[in-house]
Structure 1
Amino acid sequence: MATSNTDLVAQERSGHTAVISGNGLFVWGGYVSVADDEVFLPNDEIWLYDLDAGLWKRCGTCGELPPSMSGSCGCILNGHMYIFGGCGDDGQTNEHYSVHLHDGRYSWRRLNRCSGSRPSPRDKLSCWVHRGRIVYFGGYGHKLLGEITDSRTFIVDESSWAEDVFWGWNNEVHVFDPETNSWNEPHTLGQTPAPRAAHASATIGNKGFVCGGRIKETRTCDIHCLDLDTWTWSEIVPSSTLPLGRSWHTINAVSDSSLFLFGGLSVDCRPMSDGWIFDLKTNTWTEIKHSNMDKPRLWHTACVGRDSDVIVFGGSHDYILLLDSGHCNDALVFQTQPYSLIRLCVDFIASHAKTFQSLISCLPPKLR
């Protein structure tokens, strides 16, 4: 079902889903802007980027295909990519899908026979994976008037409603268990973060972290932590200068005690290219210089590869709500931790392959 060609490359896109499994970056969905229209990318293909070879492959998909969408929340669990929510031509959805990434079939399955109550339709949410379950948080979506029971968990967007349907931001926590095919909404304790969307999240151990996002008409860069065993929220108050408030950024766990933040859209609607490390031991932010300072990105994806490299793909380098261009399809690599000696040697040999061509066959098979 897959085709391979050295000239192939995934199309430019924003609001897509991406995961890393094995040595591959898997990309699905998203959209591009054409004039005043949002054009959603094909739903019957997954693009695979070989992180070792640096080559793209288009993989055709089958089965119960999800609609073409952007803003879906994706993750990897036991070799399956799961996507929930998103927004397509028919508006926002609360459908749930999975696809096996390593059986060669790429057959989608719609997860529609589940016990418990699914979250309401939404997009621009995030998730954590913990103990074989997927924990979804936040997002922007719609509810019927009778479903809005607590203004602390769902803030109505005053500019968007239709009859008794209201759009807004939420801070709800919903858990999906693939083993039991069930949903539940745990009762959380502590200081709950404000309802938000287009935020970023990461997991370290049994802790889920939320950073920034859009809260009503503003953007922030606050950090909150949810203990995924006790369901207790706490806010982390940094002891240093904070990055600018933002949405449509990414954050990744790059060690047992540090998070890497990149890009996003600032409070004044400016695409950003700054990178920051947050140290959870000292609660301090440190801005880092990197080789991609001239490549701002928003509504991109970021996945952690080997040696804590962060692989950023796609997104936009312009404010996508105003312009009909600016979508990207390049992969940016951020080194967040010192490389081992063997990694440095292998990278050096690989970057001078012609010089070492006659000697490469002498290397152990694993290195070769």
Structure 2
Amino acid sequence: MARATTGPAYPERFFAAASYVGFAGSPDSANSNTVVPKFNNEVSLLLYALYQQATVGPCNIPKPSSWSPVEQSKWKSWSGLGNMVPTEAMRLFVKILEEEDPGWYSRADVVSDAVVDVQMNTKTVSSENGRVVESQDKDVVSEGSGSISVYDQWVAPPVSGQRPKPRYEHGAAVIGEKMYVYGGNHNGRYLNDLQVLDLRSCTWSRVEVKTGAETSGETTISSIPCAGHTLVPWGNKLLSVAGHTKDPLETIQVRTFDIQTSTWSILKTYGKPPVSRGGHSVTLVGSSLVIFGGQNANRTLLNDLHLLDLETMTWDEFDAVGVPPSPRSDHAAAVHAERYLLIFGGGSHAACFNDLHVLDLQAMEWSRPTQQGDIPTPRAGHAGVTIGENWFITGGGDNKSGASETVVLNMSTLAWSVVTSVQGRSSLASEGLSLVVGSYNGEDTLVAFGGYNGRYNNEVNVLKPSHKSTLQTKMVETLVPDSVSAVNNATNASEVDARKDGRIMEIVMDNIDEEKVKSKEGGEHSLTALKKENEKLESELSQEKLQNQQLKQEIVEAENRNADLVKELQSVRGQLAAEQSRCFKLEVDVAELRQKLQTMEQLEKELELLRRQKAASEQAALNAKQKQGSGGVWGWLAGTPTSKEDNA
């Protein structure tokens, strides 16, 4: 899979739009004598240029020597885009199509898997009856819908009922023995359905939402199509926090669904809510929601931190010290010991990350501790859940391929290990999938659903974790530096004591060696003085090394942030250049329309004058005719012939 943008993903929307317009399947249409017959010439040329920029890149072909005005116009339009990045060209292509033809979704054909496979550079695997066959590291045995007989392996249990529409960037949460799935993105459309999977019987059903009633003084609302939101369980209610919508709001909106009354309502909050966004993280800490990062409606990446107190329904913005994570979206977040907020991975418009940041919610201080073990590769769009002190993460991608490993982080030692890997183009190596913790036969079990890896998925996979990951992380616990133990001082006193015991043993061994030296040298007092001086120097040297290491780490972080800012600046410049070009074209169109309007006004005046002249001529002719038929002297003077009776 490929991840070109964050937030609302554009590759699949772009190829769907290109297929609708007539470009898909023909990346190089430079030799075509027609452009897009569905739109006027100006829009057609602009769509052609953006498609070429997105699929081929900047125009590097020479100006056509033929006298064909179509070829000349196409080359000029394409070359005028300069070095605009392909992702920006995709975004503008979809935006212009939506402006020119708002209802194109309802008339568009679904992009075939073959086209998506070619454009997204994804791997293919064999299939049976249209369903992807996922290979496992070992045989998986499933005994009914509620029993899993293997550990640390993903299993696709048999499910019944009407499966939900394939999707990604949806929200999922567990209340009791049911997993609720709300919204998401399918083929560029935002969904608003609420599906429920009974984890005991593995049966899907759709929740019929009721509207128009009043509950607890709040007027119910209809479900809103959205994607990139977060679904959080809260008692017998679901909280849907923020997300991308067709008509974005200025600030975050929290919607609640009451599973007993099957009604949606808007949560009334106080204080200053954050700006609206999607691709953010929402973590429940006690009775508060902690919101970090994401991407707003203008595609600006964020790294701000906000809190919503669910007891007082009041928003509050955090001002933490230290170096925060760089602006990002589609990351994962977890809380440890109700005190430490962990942020892992995510992406910007140009890169994906595998850094780990920790926020002490009591001291309100950011830190970036050293990770241990098998550190995961950079990724965004992954999902994570916690079981005890273990943080399980699966899925995601890095602009080249999907992440096939399911990894676990021991949050006490900050040591990573790999739980399992999947083969082929599995839905578990997708972006925007959901991951929750359910219960099978009284044991905690991971449940994954949906995702996008070149095609939209609606598959359910479950994994029963063993204690292997805990044992693996404890084996490397003694190798963890002191900087990591700072995260665990409040809850891991026994581990700190063990480290102290180790240092005591080192001091005892040093004392034994010291006694040997004393017996040889016979200078007990001088040796003690030298020992103290040596310890002092070693302590100072250790402090200098620690400070030097911290400075190097800060320099690396500053360089990374600078590189990200440079990439962001280039992206913004490309977007600005495209908007400037479009504004210039609009100004030219307005000037032409004004000139045509003036010409039309002049023509209308001339037409009105001709109408008056015609009416006057017709009236004069009518008067003359009437005079000719009047007879008598006036008729004789006018030359009216006399009748035969008059001659007689």
> Whose helix fraction is larger, Structure 1's or Structure 2's?
2
Distance in 1 between residues matched to 2:208 and 2:185, nearest whole Å:
18
1:240 maps to a residue whose letter is G
Classify 1:79/1:7 alpha carbon distance in 2 versus 1 (closer, same or farther; 3 Å). closer
User: Which contiguous aligned blocks of 4+ residues in structure 1 show a shift greater than 4 angstroms?
Assistant: 290-294
Question: Counterpart of 1:122 in 2: which secondary structure?
Answer: coil
Written as runs of structure 1 = structure 2, the 5 A alignment for 1:6-21 is: 6-21=160-175
Work out whether residues 290 and 334 of structure 1, in 8 Å CA contact, stay in contact via their aligned partners in 2: no
Deviation of residue 291 (structure 1)? 6.1
Indicate the percent of aligned positions where both proteins have the same amino acid: 22
Written as runs of structure 1 = structure 2, the 5 A alignment for 1:161-310 is: 167-206=299-338, 207-256=340-389, 258-266=390-398, 268-290=399-421, 295=426, 296-306=429-439, 307-310=443-446
Written as runs of structure 1 = structure 2, the 5 A alignment for 1:77-156 is: 77-91=234-248, 94-101=252-259, 103=260, 105-111=261-267, 113-142=268-297
Distance in 2 between residues matched to 1:228 and 1:283, nearest whole Å:
18
1:120 maps to a residue whose letter is V
Distance in 2 between residues matched to 1:11 and 1:177, nearest whole Å:
34
Work out whether residues 126 and 137 of structure 1, in 8 Å CA contact, stay in contact via their aligned partners in 2: yes
Work out whether residues 211 and 251 of structure 1, in 8 Å CA contact, stay in contact via their aligned partners in 2: no
Deviation of residue 243 (structure 1)? 1.3
Distance in 1 between residues matched to 2:209 and 2:315, nearest whole Å:
26
Q: Which residue of 2 aligns with 1:315?
A: 451
Deviation of residue 314 (structure 1)? 0.7
Deviation of residue 264 (structure 1)? 0.4
Question: Counterpart of 2:431 in 1: which secondary structure?
Answer: coil
Greater C-alpha Rg: 2
Q: Which residue of 1 aligns with 2:459?
A: 330
Q: Which residue of 2 aligns with 1:47?
A: 195
Classify 1:195/1:338 alpha carbon distance in 2 versus 1 (closer, same or farther; 3 Å). same
Classify 1:131/1:279 alpha carbon distance in 2 versus 1 (closer, same or farther; 3 Å). closer
Answer with 51-60 or 201-210: which moved more: 201-210
2:321 maps to a residue whose letter is L
How many pairs were matched up? 294
Question: Counterpart of 2:328 in 1: which secondary structure?
Answer: coil
2:174 maps to a residue whose letter is I
Distance in 1 between residues matched to 2:276 and 2:422, nearest whole Å:
39
Which stretches in structure 1 are left out of the alignment for 5+ residues? 143-165, 319-325, 340-368
- CA deviation digits over 1:145-174, x for unaligned, max 9? xxxxxxxxxxxxxxxxxxxxx541111111
Classify 1:305/1:228 alpha carbon distance in 2 versus 1 (closer, same or farther; 3 Å). farther
Deviation of residue 337 (structure 1)? 2.5
Question: Counterpart of 1:99 in 2: which secondary structure?
Answer: strand
Deviation of residue 128 (structure 1)? 0.8
Deviation of residue 209 (structure 1)? 1.5
1:333 maps to a residue whose letter is V
Question: Counterpart of 1:189 in 2: which secondary structure?
Answer: coil
TM-score, with structure 2 as normaliser: 0.43
1:122 maps to a residue whose letter is R
- CA deviation digits over 1:322-355, x for unaligned, max 9? xxxx11111111222259xxxxxxxxxxxxxxxx
Question: Counterpart of 2:324 in 1: which secondary structure?
Answer: coil
Deviation of residue 310 (structure 1)? 1.3
Work out whether residues 172 and 230 of structure 2, in 8 Å CA contact, stay in contact via their aligned partners in 1: no
Classify 1:216/1:40 alpha carbon distance in 2 versus 1 (closer, same or farther; 3 Å). closer
TM-score, with structure 1 as normaliser: 0.75
Q: Which residue of 1 aligns with 2:184?
A: 30
Deviation of residue 110 (structure 1)? 0.7
Select which of 70, 90, 93 maps to 2:227: 70
- CA deviation digits over 1:261-293, x for unaligned, max 9? 111011x33122211111233322212225677
